[in-house]
Amino acid sequence: MAQQVLLIAWLTFVIHLSETLTYAIRLAGVRLGKLAVALSLSGIILLVSRTSNMIQALFLGNIIDYAREHSGYPLVEQLRVIIGASTMGTLTAILLLPSAVFLFSRIIAHLELAGSLPQMVRDSVSIRKLKNARTHLRFPRLEMLSKLRIGGIPKRLVILNCVVTAIYTIGVLAALLASALSLGHSTAASQASGLINGVATILLTVLIDPQIGLLTDKVLRGEKDVRVLNKVFGLLMVSRLLGTVLAQLLLVPAAHVIKWFVETL
């Protein structure tokens, strides 16, 4: 079981790393004036990562069955390890942000020339170029933290992003934990993961993405400085990090809410 938990934790790490780095893609697109190409690339990454998030349920199935058969198995603790991997993935993305913006700028330029992602991979990806990529690493500086003051940025946007990230992080995990707790309604509880993640995705799409899009348009029109966009994306990344921490607190209560809901249907 330990190997399966580590595999799921690694998958979770990659999912949250890639999703958080989509902010770097958008920022690179704004700086290059090629936002449409950047949005296309970030859309591909988001689609793959959010689909991969649902695969968690498949890998976790054996762990849930094992926990039902062995009452002393520390299921909650194992799920917390997986949530911790989401925190580490988000934190890693924050640390890689300066490097990611530079590298994605080059990727966007190559993608525009190639015309498609598969063609770009064939033309641009090689062992030599992958080795050279490490020479472009740029780590965040401490003075960048002073620029992340929330002044001028809607507080509700930051808070909402934090809460939605927490819900998205535990959607699958809380539903499967509820299925382990509710033996008589385990199937109904496990199926709730799709609904929870769907609601979280809708909230992200309807309430957060439009505000980011409006601000991006103002930057492209010259009404706001690009540094404002840097600040917004930085705060959103930090709020995602806090959302994964909040997920640790919500895991067990959310599982009991799902358990209560399916048992009262």
Which is more confidently placed, 21 or 131? Answer: 21
14-63: pLDDT as tens digits = 989 998 998 888 888 888 888 888 888 888 887 787 777 667 767 787 78
Distances (CA, A) of 215 to 25, 39, 96, 122: 16, 15, 23, 35
Asked if pLDDT for residue 91 goes beyond 90, the answer is: yes
Amino acid of residue 62: N
The pLDDT assigned to 244 comes to 94
Amino acid of residue 162: C
Question: Could you tell me if residue 140 is left (phi over 0), alpha (psi between -120 and 50 degrees) or otherwise beta?
Answer: beta
Q: CA–CA separation, 212 vs 38, rounded Å?
A: 14
Asked if pLDDT for residue 198 goes beyond 90, the answer is: no
The pLDDT assigned to 81 comes to 93
Contact of 60 with 81, CB cutoff 8 Å: no
Q: How confident is the model at residue 219 (pLDDT cuts 50, 70, 90)?
A: confident
Give the least confident one: 36-50, 155-169, 184-198, 213-227: 184-198
